[in-house]
Chains A and B, each alone.
Chain A
């Protein structure tokens, strides 16, 4: 994961020009000069793939961060205010009912493509899952003795929320953010693949796969190079999420072991 981020950040330093076209080197197989070969316009697929990593990681991280922030805000307030809770959760139910890709397509089709609107279109459908999670944690923590003690002791509500309730929402929030990040990267690639995500002049894995797919038979590497990078990236983020879950909740592993032991007996 760290390696991926470093590779992506350093891409402009080592990768050649991703937009440079060389009509004499169209659809070349991988070589020492161009590691992943060249595409239908003679552009260096390796350079484009490495720059595509920047877009994917940026969109993924920004969407995860904004979904986590929005979800945290809604979840904490909903956990403490019943009337807000009713309204917010109905809105979340409604948002969850609309398929993610279709909602993003509709948002982008009315506003036009752009990276900012893309991040927004991915963030909005991701907020309900985070908000519900945070709300459930807040609801279970607010009746704990230490929270009630703090309130009885005269601490003001905002301070209690900040000092005593917020910290317990952080571990599940981080796990969920990793999941949101992974699916945001997939959604970005999917939307770019459909031609409604990242504008086509910026190389991204989704639109590279889409534009190279016509040449799948003659130059499969132009499709598979960004495809494999995409899979490795999403896999890395997903495994990070699994690792965080095991770290924060050792019981999730212990329970499985317990069940196993009973079964064997």
Chain B
């Protein structure tokens, strides 16, 4: 077990190193001299040369990479070209909105998806099951901005039940915070509900056909106890995997959702950074998002043993 965890950690570090090399090469080999960008339009060639030297741009690439990787590991993500403030500070200011949206979306998707999938597996071929098949096909095909604008038009502009856009910090109270996040959460959840529900249905069906389920039924266990105590627990591993993967894919959806609903989160920070060609911000968000993905996958792998004691490494 300890050996497995160690091996898993080492491969995690390897993947992160790979990610680091990608991001470094992507931004360093791009056309356009970073020194010239930092110096601005009015710089003299001498100023650009000084900045090149100061940034270490004349060193060979591997040396540059090491310097870069060490400063990242030390928590120094550089400063924004546009505002001149540290990238890490700018990101941390935007984290609250993004984390709120991500966590609410995940909770909503898992609860709805698992319930939907279990209902479908309970009565295979029934109304819920067929509804799930249709919903899943649609859920994978509807982009978040189309659902988002549809919900805004229907519930916010026509019915006036919910605010159209914007975000209120949780400091202003849970009520306004939640009200502003309902539409973005529902819009962003669609593909994840479809995905989680489909996997839940499939793994429940697999478990329900096992011999011990027949034994449980023969013993006279109620269908509630069968579904929740026996089946859901055993179907847990694939469901957990899917939740891990969904969480990792969430960040792409978050970028678009924050633009649709005008939420000042990390996604908006990136979109604004593109327009200002603010590479340090793009680089910082890329590294943090990829690091989060790798860590979540590691956590999911290690959580298997907790949920299913039959898995031993």
Q: Which A residues are closer than 8 A to B by beta carbons?
A: 90-91, 93-95, 97-103, 105-111, 182, 186, 189-190, 193-196, 209-210, 213, 216-217, 220, 223-224, 227-228, 230-231, 234-235, 238-239, 242, 256, 258-260, 262-264
Q: How far is the CA of A258 from the CA of B124 in the complex (A)?
A: 12
- Residues of chain B with a CB closer than 8 A to A263's CB: 124, 205, 208-209
Question: B205, A194: Cβ atoms under 8 Å?
Answer: no
Contacting residue for B150 out of A210, A217, A224, A256, CB 8 A: A224
Complex formed: what's the CA distance from A242 to B141 in Å? 13
Contact at B270–A105, with CB atoms within 8 Å? yes
8 Å CB contact of B27 from A106, A235, A242: A106
Write the nearest CB–CB distance from A189 to chain B, whole angstroms: 6
Q: Are A102 and B286 in contact (CB under 8 A)?
A: yes
Most chain B Cβ neighbours within 10 Å, of A110, A213, A228, A256:
A110
Interface pair B30/A102, CB less than 8 Å apart: no
Shortest beta-carbon distance from B203 to chain A in Å: 10
Q: Tell me if B146 counts as interface (CB < 8 A to partner A).
A: yes
- Bound form: Cα–Cα A224–B141 in Å: 15
Shortest distance from the beta carbon of A117 to any chain B beta carbon, whole Å: 12
How many Å lie between the Cα of A94 and that of B252 in the bound state? 17
- Chain B, Cβ-Cβ closest to A239: B137
Interchain CB contact under 8 A, B256 and A101: yes
Task: For the complex, give the distance between the alpha carbons of A8 and B146 in Å.
Answer: 21
Known contacts: A103-B286, A110-B26, A216-B157. The answer to whether A231 contacts B31 by CB under 8 A is no
Residues on A with beta carbons closer than 8 Å to the beta carbon of B32: 110
A228 to B256 Cα, complex, angstroms: 18
Q: In the complex, A252→B205 CA distance in Å?
A: 14
Q: Does B143 contact A (CB under 8 A)?
A: yes
Instruction: Tell me the number of A-to-B contacts counted with CB atoms below 8 Å.
Output: 160
Which residue in chain A gives the minimum CB-CB distance to B287?
A98
Assembly CA distance A220 to B144 (angstroms): 17
B142 at the interface (CB under 8 A from A): yes
Instruction: Determine how close the nearest CB of chain B comes to the CB of A215; give it in whole angstroms.
Output: 11
Query: For A99, what are the chain B residues with a Cβ–Cβ distance below 8 Å?
Result: 248-249, 251-252, 289-290, 293
Q: How far is the CB of A181 from chain B (nearest CB, A)?
A: 12
Q: Which residues of A have CB within 8 Å of B23?
A: 98, 106
Roughly how many angstroms separate A110 CA and B278 CA in the complex, as a whole number? 10
Residues in A whose Cβ lies below 8 Å from that of B125: 260
- Cα separation A189 to B147 with both chains bound (whole Å): 13
Interface size range on B against A:
35 or more
- Determine whether the beta carbon of A97 is less than 8 Å from that of B15: yes
A97-B19 in contact (CB<8A): yes
Tell me the bound Cα distance from A100 to B18 in angstroms. Answer: 16
The yes or no answer to B274 lying at the interface (CB within 8 A) is yes
Q: Measured between C-beta atoms, what is the minimum distance from A180 to chain B in Å?
A: 13
Residue in A closest to B289 when the chains form the complex, CB atoms:
A99
Interface 0/1 of B207-240, CB less than 8 Å to A: 0110000000000000000000000000000000
* B145 touches which of A91, A111, A193, A264 (Cβ 8 Å): A193
14 CB-based A-B contacts, threshold 8 Å? A90-B18, A93-B18, A97-B15, A101-B255, A101-B256, A106-B283, A110-B27, A111-B30, A182-B140, A186-B141, A190-B256, A227-B149, A231-B146, A256-B205
Residues from chain B with a CB closer than 8 A to the CB of A256 are 202, 205
Q: How far is the CA of A10 from the CA of B209 in the complex (A)?
A: 52
**How many whole Å from A113's CB to the nearest CB in chain B?**
10
* B124 cross-chain contacts in A, Cβ below 8 A: 260, 263-264
Known: A102-B270, A230-B143, A231-B141. A216 touches B152 (CB 8 A): yes
Whether A189 contacts B149 by the Cβ 8 Å rule is no
Complex alpha-carbon distance, A230 and B138, angstroms: 12
Contact A194/B251 with A209-B146, A238-B140 known, Cβ cut-off 8 Å: no
Contact A102 B141 (CB under 8 A): no
- In the assembled complex, how far is the CB of residue A96 from the closest CB belonging to chain B, in whole angstroms? 8
Q: Residues of B contacting A217 with CB < 8 Å?
A: 153, 157
Give the CA-CA distance A256 to B270 in the complex, in Å: 43
State the 4 A-B residue pairs at the shortest beta-carbon distance, nearest first: A94-B18, A110-B30, A262-B209, A101-B252
Distance, CA A93 to CA B13, complexed state (A): 11
B206 within 8 A of A: yes
Residue of B nearest to A93 (CB): B15
Asked if A235 meets B286 with Cβ closer than 8 Å, knowing A102-B270, A260-B124, the reply is: no
Central interface residue in A95, A99, A235, A239, by most chain B CB within 10 Å: A99
Q: B150–A227 contact, CB under 8 A? A: yes
Q: B48 near A: Cβ within 8 Å?
A: no
The answer to the question of B259 belonging to the interface, with a C-beta cut-off of 8 Å to chain A, is yes
Give the residue name and chain of the A residue nearest to B205 (CB).
A259
In whole angstroms, how far apart are the Cα atoms of A102 and B144 in the complex? 16
**B residues less than 8 Å from A108 (CB atoms):** 274
With a CB–CB cut-off of 8 A, which chain A residues contact B255? Answer: 101-102, 105, 194
Return the CB mask of B248-287 against A: 1 if under 8 Å, else 0: 1101100110011000000000110111010100110110
